[in-house]
Structure 1
Amino acid sequence: MIKRIEKLRRFMKVEGLDALFIYSYENRRYFSGFSGSNGYLLITDSYCGLITDQRYTEQAKEQSPSFEVVTHGIEPFKTIQEVFEGNVFSRIGFESESISVHLFTTLSSMFTDCDWVPLTKELLTLRSKKDPEEVEIIRKAIAISDQSFKELVPMISPGMTEKEVAVELEYLMGKHGHEGPAFGTIVASDTRAALPHATPSINKIKTDHFLLIDYGVKYMGYMSDMTRTLWIGSPSEELKEYYYLTHDALEKSIEAVKPGMTGHELDTVARQVFLREGLEGYSLRGLGHGIGLQIHENPRIVLNSNEVLEPGMVFTIEPGLYVPGKVGVRVEDIVLVTESGCEILTNTPRHIHI
C-alpha cells in the first residue's frame, strides 16, 4: 500500500492538493487495503487516517497498518471534524461522482475555509495500471471462473432453462471460493441472446441454436469477466457466420494490442471486421473495459477513447453482434498488456459444442 500512497501523493502535488478525502469502497480499499463496508480516508502529504465504526476497528488496524485508525460513534461527523482539525490544509480533493449530496453539504459547511476540489475519473486512472499483486489476484479470480465453467459445460443440455444454468454456474463459482458474482450472471438462449444484458429466464435451451453465457467472479475484491457463445446441436450456416465473424474480430483485436495505441484504435480493429460485412450496426459502441476492483474500470476500449494502453493494464476484449429476433453472439477474454503486446489471461476454450 505504501507505493500506492506514494503514487497518490505525487498526483496530489501535481494537482496542487493539500489533502484527499476518499469515501468510495473501491478507492478506499485500493489505497488503504481496508475491505470493510464503512470508512473514510483522509490523506495529506504527512498523514494517513482511516475513520470507521467500532464494528471494523480491529479489522482496519490489521488491514491498514500504515493508517491511523480512528473509531467514530453513531454520528461520524464529529469524529471527521476532529481528524480534519488535526491537520492543516486549504485545498482538499473529493470524489464528486461517489459522495452523496448530504455528505458533501455537511462537510463543506463544517469546513468553509477549505477549497473543495471535485475529482471525477482521476483516481480511477491511477488504478488503471495493475501492480504484480493485483495481477496475481485477478489470475486467481479467472482460474475460479475457468474451473467453474469447465464443470458446468457437461451439465448443459437442451430443455434446461436459462435460470437453471445460471443457478448451477453460481453454485460452482461459490464452491471454488469466490466472494460472489462480479455482476448479474447472463444466460441467454437462441434469440434472447440478441439482448446484450439478458436476465436469465425460464426460456428453455433449444437444439440447433446458440447459448450465450456472460459471467464473472469476485475474489479478494477483484473481478473476472468472460463470455462464451456455445453451439447447441448444429446451428444453421447463417448463424455460424455471425459466430465466426465475432470470433475473427476477437482474434484480430488481441493480435493488435500493443502499448501506445489508444482505446479507440483498438476498438476500430474489431469494428472493421463487422463494417466489411455490413454488420457494424449490430455491434455495440465499445469493444471492452478495464477490470479490477470494479467490473468496469479504465482503460475504456470504446469509440473516441483517447486513453493510451500501457503495460500492466488489464481489460476485456468482447466483440459481439446482436440481431434482434435472430441471433446474439459475444466472445470475451481478459488480456494483460505487456511490453510488446498482450497476454491472454482467460483459459477457457472459445469454441464449445454441445
Structure 2
Amino acid sequence: MPTSPLVAPLRGFALVEYENRTLQLQMRMCEQQIDAAFFTTEPEFRYFSGFKSQFWESPTRPWFLVVPAEGKPIAVVPEIGVSGFDQTWIDDVRSWPSPQPEDDGVSLLATTLAEVSSRYHRVGAMLGPETHLRMPAQNFAALQQILMHHELVDVSTYMRDIRSVKSLAEIEKIRFACGVAASGFEFLRGHLAVGMTEREACKAMHLEMLRLGADSCPYLISASGKSGYDNIIMGPTDRELNDGDVLIIDTGANFDGYFCDFDRNFGFGDIDPETLRAYDSVYAATEAGLNIAAPGRTTGDVWQAMWTELERGGALSNNVGRMGHGLGMQLTEWPSHVQNGDVELKPGMVLTLEPGMAFAPNKMMVHEDNIVITDAGCELLHDRTWQSMPIIRQ
C-alpha cells in the first residue's frame, strides 16, 4: 500500500507558469525569425492558454491559438467557447459562429496571423513527427492560399523540447495520478479471483481509481493468456481468468489533464516456471533502467541497459518497438527509448521505463514504471511493483 495518504495537488497553474512557457517558445521563434506560431491540438492549446474543456471530444468545431513573437497568445475560437477564457490568462479572444463549413474560422485565423507576422512573414505550425493538424485538409489548404506570401515552418521540435521538461507543478500532478493507479493495482490484487473476466477486473480497478481521485481513466487495457499474452493493445475482453493464466493491466489515470502510464502483471493458479522467469527478467530490466537513467545519459543508453538484461533472461525479441517514452499531458510523448537513441536526458523529464520481451512463440512479458529525471539520477513516481509475480488462487 502507499506509504502516505494520497493528497491531490492544487488544480491549474500560477500565471507565471504560462508566462514562462510562452517566453520559452518566443525565444526560439525569435532565434529562427518566426513571427508567430499557431496551434490546433488540445495539448498545445492548453499548454499555453490554460483553457481546459471536454468540448475537444467533439470533431465539429476547430480551435486555434496564435502565439506571436511578443506578447500574450491570441485565441481564435468558436463563439460557444468565448466565455471559457474568463478563467484563463488570455484576454484577446476572437470568435466566429461555428459550425460554419464554408469558412470555419480560416479567414479569421489568417487575418490574425497576417496581423502578427508582418516582419519576417514566417509562421510556425506543428508539422513534424508525432503531430497532426486538427483541421480539415481543405481548410489548411485554404489557409496556405490566403497566406501565400508567408512561409510556413515546423515548430514541433521546439515544442517537444519545451514540453519534455516538466515544472514542479506538472510533476506533482503526474505523481498524484501515479499514486492513484498504484493504489488501484494494490486494491485489485486483493479483489481478483479465479473466474473473473478481464472486463470485470478492469472495471473494478477503474471504479477504485475514480474513488481515489482520478478525474478519468481514458486508457485502461488488458490482455491475458495461458502462461503469457501475445497482444497488449486490444482488451479488455470477456475472457475468464483461470488456472495458468497471466493478466496484464496497463492504465493511464488522469488528474487535472496529466497522465500516468504503467502496468502490472498477475498470475492465476499454477504458472509455468518459464513465465515466472520472464517476469523476473523484465523486473531486472526495469532495475537496470532505474540505475542508468540520469542527466547526460541518452534514451539509447536506457534502452541498451534494459535490453542487456532481457537478453540475459532469454528474450527472443522486443516487438513493441521501444522500451518507454515521455509522459505528461498526453499518455505518450516524445522521446522514445529506442536502440541507439540520442536524446539526452535532462532534469524534469518524466518518462516511462517499459521493458518487454517475447520469451516464447506468441508469449510476451511487459513491465512499465514511471520516473522523473532528477539532478542526481531518477526517482520513481509511485511505489515499485512487486518483485515476484502475485499469484491469485482459488
TM-score by length of 1: 0.92
Which amino acid is the alignment partner of residue 52 of structure 1? V
Whether the 8 Å CA contact 2:223–2:234 is kept in 1: the answer is yes
Question: Quick check: 1:32–1:67 contact (8 Å CA) kept in 2?
Answer: no
CA contact (8 A) 2:36 2:116 kept: no
- 1:300 Cα shift? 1.4
Corresponding residue for 1:92?
Answer: 123
Could you tell me which runs of 5 or more consecutive residues in structure 1 were left unpaired when the two chains were aligned: none
Structure 1 residue identity aligned to 2:46: R
1:310 matched residue in structure 2: 346
Aligned-residue offset at 1:182: 4.1
In the TM superposition, 1:109-120 aligns within 5 A as: 109-120=145-156
SS of residue matched to 2:219: coil
CA distance in 1, matches of 2:339, 2:385: 28
CA distance in 2 between counterparts of 1:213 and 1:154 reads: 15
What is the Cα deviation at residue 172 of structure 1? 2.2
Q: How does 1:25-104 map to 2 (within 5 A)?
A: 25-36=42-53, 37=56, 38-47=62-71, 48-63=73-88, 65-74=89-98, 75-89=104-118, 90-96=121-127, 97-99=131-133, 100=135, 101-104=137-140
1:188 matches 2:224: yes
1:166 Cα deviation after fit: 1.6
Q: In structure 2, do the counterparts of structure 1 residues 121 and 204 end up closer, same or farther at CA, with 3 Å as the change threshold?
A: farther
- Residues 209-247 of structure 1 deviation map (CA, whole Å, 9 limit, x = unaligned): 322111111211111111111132332322211111111
Letter in 2 for 1:238: E
Check the 8 A contact 2:22/2:48 in 1, yes or no: yes
* Residue 85 (structure 1) shift: 4.2
Which position in structure 1 is the counterpart of 2:391?
353
Say whether 1:267 aligns with 2:323: no
- Runs of 4+ residues over 4 Å off in structure 1: 323-326
* Distance in 1 (alpha carbons) for counterparts of 2:70 and 2:219: 38
1:132 aligned onto 2:168: yes
SS at match of 1:211: strand
Alpha-carbon spacing, 1:280–1:10, altered in 2? closer, same or farther (3 Å): farther
Distance 1:85 1:275, change over 3 A: closer
**Match for 1:242: what amino acid?**
A
> Hey, what's the Cα distance between the residues in 2 that align with 1:273 and 1:221?
35
On the 8 A contact 1:192/1:198 being kept in 2, the answer is: no
Whole-Å Cα distance in 2 between the matches of residues 324 and 195 of structure 1? 13
State the SS of the aligned residue for 1:181. strand
Contact 2:126 2:155 in 1 (8 A): yes
Q: For the Cα contact (< 8 Å) 2:347–2:374, is it kept in 1?
A: yes
Deviation at 1:174, TM superposition (A): 2.6
Q: Is the 8 A contact 1:2 1:66 kept in 2?
A: no
Using the TM superposition, give the Cα deviation of residue 296 of structure 1 relative to its aligned residue in structure 2, in angstroms: 1.1
Deviates more, 1:144-153 or 1:338-347: 144-153
Partners of 1:276 and 1:148 lie apart in 2 by 32
- Give 1:69's aligned amino acid: V
The CA deviation string for residues 25-46 of structure 1, in whole angstroms up to 9 with x for no partner, is 1111111111232521111122
Q: Does structure 2 conserve the Cα–Cα contact (< 8 Å) formed by 1:282 and 1:323?
A: no
Do 1:195 and 1:322's aligned partners in 2 also have CA atoms closer than 8 Å?
no
Residue 19 of structure 2: aligned partner? 2
How many angstroms does 1:295 deviate by? 1.1
Q: Distance in 1 between matches of 2:217 and 2:138?
A: 30
How many residue pairs were aligned? 353
Identify which of 197, 211, 225 aligns with 1:161.
197
In 2: Cα distance, 1:313 partner to 1:31 partner: 19
Cα distance in 2 between the residues matched to 1:204 and 1:130: 41
Report the more deviating stretch, 50-59 or 130-139: 50-59
Residue 275 to residue 147, structure 1, CA distance change in 2 (3 Å):
closer
Give the RMSD, CA atoms, in angstroms: 2.1
Gaps (5+ residues) in structure 2? Answer: 1-17, 57-61, 99-103
Normalized against structure 2, the TM-score is what?
Answer: 0.84
CA contact (8 A) 1:245 1:273 kept: yes
Aligned residue runs from structure 1 range 219-230, under 5 A? 219-230=255-266
Residue 76 of structure 2 aligns to a residue in which SS?
strand
Judge conservation of contact 2:63–2:78 (CA < 8 Å) in 1.
Answer: yes
2:292 matched to 1:292?
Answer: no
Distance 1:337 1:19 in 2: 32
Distance 2:168 2:94 in 1: 30
- Show CA shifts across 1:142-174 (max 9, x none): 122122222222221111111211222222223
